[in-house]
Amino acid sequence: MTAQPSPLRRRGTARTRSVATAALLLSLVALTGAACDASDGTDTDAPGGPGQGVAAAELPALRLTANVRRDAREVPVDRVVEVGAEHGRLSRVRLSAGERQVPGRLTDDGSAWRASARLEPGTAYTLRVVGSDGAGERVAESRSFRTRALSLAEQTFASVAPLDGETVGIGMPVVVTFDVPVTDQATFEKHMTVRSEPQQAGSWHWMSATEARWRPRKYWRPGTRVSVDIDVNSLPAGGGIYGQESRRLAFEVGDAHVYRVDAAAHQMRVFTNGSLVRTFPITTGKEGFTTRSGVKVIMEKSESRRMNSETVGIAAGSADSYDIDNVQWAMRLTTSGEFIHAAPWSVGSQGSANVSHGCTGMSTADAAWLYAQSRRGDVVEYVGTDRPMTVENGWGDWNLPFAEYRDGSALG
């Protein structure tokens, strides 16, 4: 729909009323658009238009277009605001919501401007456009519009691990968890970026509609700096759901800590940057509670925690039940409940027998030493049992060959 021209104040040489009216027509016309997130930006300026020497009667009318209608009240949040100029050029475009400006980019020839961030739901915006015709005459107009409001049920929020500024181990995947399912995973994945210095190849892998992970082809190199950009604010997630907020963070990879546990030999060897630094006697899961073999990653650390067998499906009062208030130096390896922790009650069996309910037990002193040097993302490699580790049990990403892991990408 073409808006009716409004009176405009001219600057420049005088012309006849009819020629001036034709040359300075301003019509903001609704076009189509696609999605994108609001953040701070600055106005963009371009030089004035050419054509000062062209006879006024030969100049075509300046025509400015935009893909949002004046006073629109239900603009989709995935609309990318665009402005264009025909028979002239744009000199300034400002899209703002209160004091917050939406960044955008003007083409070199001044013919078009496109927002580089998406809109927020339920927000009032003002679009101000300044253009010039072939004779350099400047005209300006503004319009307001409001985006469609969204409920929390219509938005999905991304939680990301690791945390911004965290130093992690070489096995740490990037874990993105959504609180509302993402059905258009391909669209989201195109806007989810992991960059590293030095660069290391890797891939996203969707565990489910609410969780995506990224890991490099091989363990991270120690000292790597990683930046994560989950640019999904107001992006369609499918089924009428939109991303609620973009997330950007950076983390670093520390020393290479790899703990190699042989359940059959009841022994843990601790390697730092490829060198063996300690060997510990340990105990792992007894018959019926066999510890899983494969690659595990430390997920969380607790100086002290309560461990109750009911949380892992062992009924209270049964022969194998337990409820211990103060288990020290506990580090989680699986969501199913495997930990490395101090187990002073099993010191007599450590190094000679497996007597636990699946956890890796150590003396209090040994567990304290290991805990002090460990980080989230440190690698624990288990051998010696016939029960395999699975990808979905904790951060078991390293138990898939990389080619199979990459098959879990929504982009093929």
CA distance 199 to 298: 24
* Cα 353 → chain centroid: 44
User: Six-digit token pair at 80?
Assistant: 């990318």
CB 209 within 8 A of CB 156: no
DSSP codes of every residue in 221-234? PTT-EEEEEE--TT
CA distance 191 to 66: 25
Find, among 90, 282, 302, the residue nearest to 82 by Cα.
Answer: 90
In the residue annotation, 357 being an active-site residue is answered as no
DSSP conformation class of 73: S
CB 392 within 8 A of CB 187: no
The one-letter amino acid at 287 = E
Q: 331 has which bridge partners?
A: 301, 340
In the residue annotation, 36 being an active-site residue is answered as no
What kind and span of H or E run contains 114? strand 112-115
Pairing outcome for strands 339-342 and 323-332: antiparallel
- Reported in sequence order, the residue ranges of 165-285 that DSSP labels E, i.e. its strands, are 167-168, 174-178, 192-197, 202-208, 211-216, 225-230, 236-238, 241-243, 247-253, 257-262, 267-272, 275-281
CA distance 382 to 399: 11
User: Six-digit token pair at 278?
Assistant: 């300690």
What kind and span of H or E run contains 317? none
Cα dihedral across residues 31, 34, 35, 40: positive or negative: negative
User: Which among 87, 257, 341, 357 is annotated as catalytic?
Assistant: 341
Q: 216 has which bridge partners?
A: 202
CA distance 62 to 23: 6
Q: Give the residue numbers annotated as catalytic, written as ranges.
A: 341, 359
